[in-house]
């Protein structure tokens, strides 16, 4: 009977997880041209697995291929070998990831508090939180954190050390920062607080497990050392980043420095802060768990919690430790937030479910003690149900427009994409339009520069992007046809995509274009004159396609006519 009871709550979790996935699928396939924003950045170059002729000699492709985690790349390459397009795979993988996460999360929660209903609530809260963010629906490397990390926790607590080490290896192959947190958990477990003092573990197996984890981490990082980033050199230094507008809030592509409020920098900054998120709001109840823990008589369910509950605290200590180390060694350990963002999401959601059930249990017990009898029990559990129903359907009711849709981008210019799809596969498009972000995905053609792909972590890559952007701004707003010809010849541009509104000062107010000074200011000065730039004069003469506000100019025509 007890097993049936547990299976009921487990299956119910899977039902909700699958239901959330179906909502995502409906949204993801609602439009012909739609993609999750981060997925487009990570997966666009993988279209070459099916057609190597696509995006040839593309700087953006070379860079993003070099920084993609080894395991992530291998997975999509394997899927593509089965004939499944990578962009399609990125929309289907969230189902697998959600269900796998649900399985491990539920079983891990049972190890903390062996009450299936509580495991159900914690897992449900985590799934709701997951689908309110842009993690799992992106199918990017960070989406793999949750199934692998929960698997690590489950096997660790079960004593299946070999499987726990394998889970650590998978974390390293897909998302190395969380692999460090997992290794950190094993290190923190060596220390305990008993009778008012710290004690080191006396179990030899704990040290062997940590050594094995460090060894596995070293093996998984080896490919990155041999192949990763070599083409584009070392990461940007802290001193270099402080001098770059790309790292300054609020305009920078990576808005790390110059936050107006120190609290925003340390707690809410997407790159620099802890990244504590309390969505859905009910998970904030988890912050009360340490308080409830101190009053076991008033909250009897606390007494049923197992020692494994200490893992939640150990995760926090390990994550915050690496968070502080990443700040101290900026950017050698990459971004500080990447250690706490995902860790806090898991800990807070689980703690929220446990705390909520402890509170409901205490309320039901108190009511039953005061009002005896069968009717009192029915009323008490009726109240519990009234609390549970909003919990089950909160996201669908209050976040219907956002639930599962985080970061979803729909292409709004299908005619433009289809025009470029008909052009040679080695075509290169120059444009300052925001549509440059979509063309490599929807049109499968290379762009000279794009705000989305202009990641400033590696100077050897980003300096080239910055030079291209400055040259493009200069050429597009120049009175001299030589600047246009020089850009076309230097980079091998085939088409120039221009918006008719591009020759107004307001167009240069784009957050991305403001980064390129003094080119932006010089372009504004040129627009202030009565003479139109050369490119504006050539729009009707060299036009090969027009759709709405967009005009496509043929580079050969521009080279001959300017």
- Identify the pLDDT of residue 401: 67
Cβ 266 vs Cβ 260: under 8 Å:
no
- Identify the pLDDT of residue 379: 60
SS3 of residue 272 by DSSP: coil
Reported pTM: 0.93
Note every long-range contact of 311-317, with CB atoms under 8 Å and residues 24 or more positions apart, other chains counting: 311/112, 311/153, 311/156, 311/157, 311/185, 312/112, 312/347, 312/350, 312/351, 314/185, 314/188, 314/189, 315/153, 315/181, 315/185, 315/343, 315/346, 315/347, 316/343, 316/344, 316/347, 317/184, 317/188
Is 250 a domain residue? no
Of 398, 425, 448, the one marking the end of a domain is 398
Q: What's the CA gap between 10 and 106, in Å, rounded?
A: 7
Any idea what the CATH number is for the domain that residue 530 is in? 3.40.50
Domain match, 419 and 389 both = no
Q: What is the mean pLDDT of each run of 10 residues along the chain (562 residues)?
A: 82 93 93 92 95 96 94 97 96 97 98 93 91 92 98 97 98 96 97 79 92 96 66 90 92 87 86 83 82 89 92 97 96 94 94 89 73 59 60 61 83 96 97 96 97 95 97 96 96 97 94 94 92 92 95 95 76
Domain match, 342 and 471 both = no
Helix (H) / strand (E) containing 3? helix 2-28
Is 474 a domain residue? yes
Q: What's the CA gap between 501 and 416, in Å, rounded?
A: 17
Is 26 a domain residue? yes
Q: What's the CA gap between 486 and 464, in Å, rounded?
A: 16
User: CA-based angle 67:71:75, to the nearest 5?
Assistant: 110
Cβ 184 vs Cβ 321: under 8 Å:
yes
Is 48 a domain residue? no
Is 50 a domain residue? no
Domain match, 123 and 25 both = yes
Domain match, 394 and 418 both = no
- Identify the pLDDT of residue 33: 94
Range of the structural domain that residue 267 is part of: 2-32+68-233+261-398
Q: What's the CA gap between 232 and 65, in Å, rounded?
A: 11
Of 372, 398, 424, the one marking the end of a domain is 398
Domain match, 300 and 420 both = no
Cβ 10 vs Cβ 121: under 8 Å:
no
Is 465 a domain residue? yes
Domain match, 270 and 368 both = yes
Domain match, 369 and 438 both = no
Domain match, 278 and 211 both = yes
Domain match, 481 and 536 both = yes
Is 103 a domain residue? yes
Q: Where are the beta strands (DSSP E) in 22-72?
A: 34-36
Q: What is the count of structural domains for the chain?
A: 2
Q: What's the CA gap between 98 and 145, in Å, rounded?
A: 11
What are the residues whose beta carbons fall under 8 Å from the beta carbon of 326, sequence distance 6 or more?
332, 333, 334, 335, 336, 338, 339
Domain match, 180 and 328 both = yes
Domain match, 291 and 424 both = no
- Identify the pLDDT of residue 400: 58
Domain match, 142 and 197 both = yes
Of 338, 373, 398, the one marking the end of a domain is 398
Helix (H) / strand (E) containing 173? helix 161-174
Is 245 a domain residue? no
């Amino acid at each position: 009977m007890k097993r049936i009871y547990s299976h009921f709550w487990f299956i119910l979790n899977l039902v909700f997880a699958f239901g959330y996935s179906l909502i995502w699928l409906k949204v993801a396939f609602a439009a012909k041209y739609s993609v999750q924003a981060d997925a487009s950045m990570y997966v666009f170059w993988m279209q070459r697995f099916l057609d190597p002729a696509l995006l040839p000699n593309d700087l953006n492709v070379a860079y993003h291929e070099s920084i993609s985690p080894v395991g992530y790349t291998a997975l999509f390459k394997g899927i593509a070998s089965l004939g499944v397009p990578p962009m399609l795979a990125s929309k289907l993988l969230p189902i697998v990831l959600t269900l796998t996460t649900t399985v491990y999360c539920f079983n891990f929660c049972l190890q903390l508090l062996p009450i299936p209903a509580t495991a159900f609530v914690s897992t449900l809260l985590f799934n709701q939180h997951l689908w309110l963010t842009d993690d799992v629906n992106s199918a990017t490397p960070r989406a793999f954190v949750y199934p692998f990390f929960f698997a690590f926790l489950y096997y660790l607590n079960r004593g299946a050390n070999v499987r726990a080490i394998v889970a650590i290896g998978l974390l390293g192959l897909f998302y190395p920062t969380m692999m460090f947190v997992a290794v950190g958990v094993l290190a923190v477990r060596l220390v305990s607080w008993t009778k008012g003092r710290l004690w080191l573990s006396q179990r030899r197996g704990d040290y062997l497990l940590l050594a094995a984890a460090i060894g596995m981490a070293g093996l998984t990082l080896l490919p990155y050392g041999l192949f990763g980033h070599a083409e584009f050199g070392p990461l940007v230094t802290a001193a270099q980043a402080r001098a770059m507008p790309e790292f300054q809030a609020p305009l920078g592509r990576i808005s790390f420095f110059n936050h107006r409020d120190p609290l925003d920098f340390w707690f809410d900054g997407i790159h620099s802060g802890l990244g504590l998120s309390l969505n859905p709001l009910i998970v904030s109840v988890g912050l009360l768990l340490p308080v409830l823990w101190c009053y076991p008589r008033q909250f009897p369910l606390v007494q049923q919690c197992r020692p494994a509950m200490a893992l939640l605290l150990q995760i926090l200590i390990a994550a915050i430790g690496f968070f502080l180390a990443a700040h101290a060694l900026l950017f050698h350990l990459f971004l500080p937030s990447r250690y706490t963002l995902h860790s806090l999401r898991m800990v807070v959601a689980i703690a929220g479910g446990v705390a909520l059930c402890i509170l409901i249990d205490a309320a039901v017990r108190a009511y039953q003690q005061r009002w005896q009898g069968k009717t009192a029990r029915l009323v008490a559990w009726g109240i519990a149900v009234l609390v549970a129903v909003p919990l089950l359907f909160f996201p669908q009711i209050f976040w219907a427009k956002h639930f599962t849709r985080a970061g979803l981008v729909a292409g709004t210019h299908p005619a433009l994409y289809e025009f470029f799809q008909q052009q040679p596969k080695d075509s290169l498009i120059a444009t300052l339009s925001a549509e440059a972000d979509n063309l490599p995905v929807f049109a499968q053609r290379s762009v000279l520069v794009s705000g989305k792909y202009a990641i400033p972590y590696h100077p050897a890559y980003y300096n080239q992007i910055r030079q291209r952007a400055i040259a493009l701004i200069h050429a597009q707003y120049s009175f001299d046809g030589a600047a246009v010809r020089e850009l076309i010849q230097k980079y091998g541009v085939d088409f120039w995509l221009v918006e008719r509104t591009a020759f107004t000062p307001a167009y240069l107010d784009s957050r991305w274009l403001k980064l390129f000074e003094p080119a932006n200011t010089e372009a504004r000065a040129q627009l202030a004159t009565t003479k139109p730039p050369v490119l504006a004069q050539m729009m009707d003469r060299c036009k090969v396609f027009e759709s709405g506000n967009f005009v496509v100019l043929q580079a050969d025509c521009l080279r001959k006519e300017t």
